[in-house]
């Protein structure tokens, strides 16, 4: 790392650094660590000391961290090296992470997911075929032990398998609570299973989980209901990616679909709604040239806190919060490269540049070796 980016002016006096209540938690600021797939768990998907250090570095008093997408079903695996919460060993590993974050005075939610068709037979139990809502050919890439390879074409999930996955989310929520997480988030975006059921480009079923928008939203609300049974609505969040195309996703009427989905979520009284703006990589070439629109549109139908994510810098985050279109902003790549991002944004300090090549998998390089800002040196 030879150069520093600048944050611009200090943002201490902006809405980005005002307190807010999210569910049961009083937060000191609106800067959120986005759930970022880092693929650095130990064998068997067990969270380890490296992960505990990574989250601890980014924890500050009253900050909200959302831990990376975590596997809830054996057949939901989407990335080699991604963690799970399927068994006691994984639960114990997550306890180390939670304790390290709590020791710094921060709040941490766990994101739960099922990869659905975003998988490969090498990641499946006994080399099986991944499941999805419909057996529709696609050209996704999946990270296995042999690197990024074409996904194994999925088969259509049976009703019994769908019900089993709903149970898996419930069981994972229970384990997350045992591990001490302050809350949980359902990953309903980025072309994973919940998103696959929502969007009609991937869901062409004709039963109660397909066809109409009401049917395609059914799995989302069933899973949320079971998660709420464990944690209470005020400790559950949901992440959606309206109009997101990552993972070869598409829908014939995304505005109607996601408006209806969010209307149903609003009835739960959730801790928050987490929205990925449809300007992120995979949808556009440069996210800084496209204005955020998802939070603006869905603020009309969701009455709880909204976290906006995707392509924000510090000033952009302060602006969307100042306008009232979102309440918090989740940062990804900047938080990866700057463990002290909260301080750097608050004081207008230079930012470490991020190394995209080390985002997915590897060692401490690109994970826990990014420097904290030093008042005594330009670059440490």
Token digits for 199?
A: 């969007």
**What pLDDT, on the 0 to 100 scale, is given for residue 6?**
59
Residue 237: other Cβ atoms inside 10 A: 27
In sign, the C-alpha dihedral spanning 325, 189, 69, 81 is negative
Beta strand 31-33 pairing with 25-27? unpaired
Fold of 15-358: TIM Barrel (3.20.20)
In sign, the C-alpha dihedral spanning 145, 147, 152, 154 is positive
Domain assignments of the chain as residue spans, ordered by start = 15-358
**What pLDDT, on the 0 to 100 scale, is given for residue 246?**
85
In sign, the C-alpha dihedral spanning 314, 316, 319, 324 is negative
Q: What's the pLDDT tens digit per position in 273-331?
A: 999 998 654 444 444 444 567 888 999 999 999 999 998 999 999 999 999 999 999 99
Mean pLDDT of all residues in 207-220? 98
Active site amino acids: 192
Beta strand 25-27 pairing with 20-22? antiparallel
The alpha helices in 180-237, defined as continuous H runs, are 193-198, 213-216, 218-231
Query: For residue 41, what pLDDT band results from cuts at 50, 70 and 90?
Result: very high
Q: What's the pLDDT tens digit per position in 60-99?
A: 999 999 999 999 999 999 999 999 999 999 999 999 999 9
**What pLDDT, on the 0 to 100 scale, is given for residue 376?**
55
- Predicted model pTM: 0.94
Percent of the chain predicted with pLDDT > 90: 86
CB 299 within 8 A of CB 306: yes
Q: What's the pLDDT tens digit per position in 177-207?
A: 999 999 999 999 999 999 999 999 999 999 9
Instruction: Write down the mean pLDDT value for the chain.
Output: 92
**What pLDDT, on the 0 to 100 scale, is given for residue 289?**
42
Q: What's the pLDDT tens digit per position in 219-241?
A: 999 999 999 999 999 999 999 99
CA distance 108 to 67: 7
**What pLDDT, on the 0 to 100 scale, is given for residue 5?**
59
CA distance 372 to 344: 9
Q: Higher-confidence residue: 279 or 351?
A: 351
């Amino acid at each position: 790392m030879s150069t520093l980016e600048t944050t611009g002016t200090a943002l201490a006096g902006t809405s980005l650094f005002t307190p807010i209540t999210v569910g049961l938690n009083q937060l000191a600021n609106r800067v959120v660590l986005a759930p970022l797939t880092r693929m650095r768990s130990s064998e068997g998907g067990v969270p380890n000391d490296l992960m505990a250090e990574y989250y601890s570095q980014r924890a500050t008093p009253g900050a909200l961290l959302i831990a990376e997408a975590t596997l809830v079903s054996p057949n939901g695996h989407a990335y080699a090296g991604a963690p799970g919460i399927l068994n006691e060993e994984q639960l114990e590993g997550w306890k180390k992470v939670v304790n390290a974050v709590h020791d710094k005075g921060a709040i941490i939610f766990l994101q739960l997911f099922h990869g659905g068709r975003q998988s490969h037979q090498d990641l499946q139990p006994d080399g099986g075929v991944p499941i999805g809502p419909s057996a529709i050919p696609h050209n996704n890439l999946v990270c296995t032990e042999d690197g990024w390879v074409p996904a194994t074409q999925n088969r259509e999930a049976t009703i019994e398998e769908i019900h089993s996955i709903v149970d898996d989310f419930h069981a994972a929520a229970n384990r997350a609570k045992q591990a001490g997480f302050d809350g949980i988030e359902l990953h309903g975006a980025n072309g994973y299973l919940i998103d696959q059921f929502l969007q009609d480009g991937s869901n062409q079923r004709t039963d109660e989980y397909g066809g109409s928008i009401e049917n395609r939203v059914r799995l989302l609300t069933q899973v949320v209901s079971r998660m709420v049974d464990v944690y209470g609505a005020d400790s559950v969040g949901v992440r959606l990616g309206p109009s997101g195309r990552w993972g070869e996703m598409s829908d014939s009427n995304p505005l109607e679909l996601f408006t209806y989905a969010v209307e149903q979520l609003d009835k739960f009284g959730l801790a928050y709604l987490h929205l990925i703006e449809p300007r992120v990589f995979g949808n556009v070439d440069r996210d800084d040239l496209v204005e955020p629109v998802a939070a603006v549109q869905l603020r009309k139908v969701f009455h709880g806190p909204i976290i906006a994510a995707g392509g924000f810098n510090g000033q952009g985050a302060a602006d969307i919060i100042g306008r009232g279109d979102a309440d918090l902003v989740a940062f990804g790549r900047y938080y990866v490269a700057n463990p002290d991002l909260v301080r750097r944004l608050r004081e207008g300090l230079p930012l470490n540049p991020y190394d995209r090549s080390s985002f997915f998998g590897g060692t401490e390089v690109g994970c826990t070796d990014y420097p904290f800002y030093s008042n005594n040196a330009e670059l440490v």
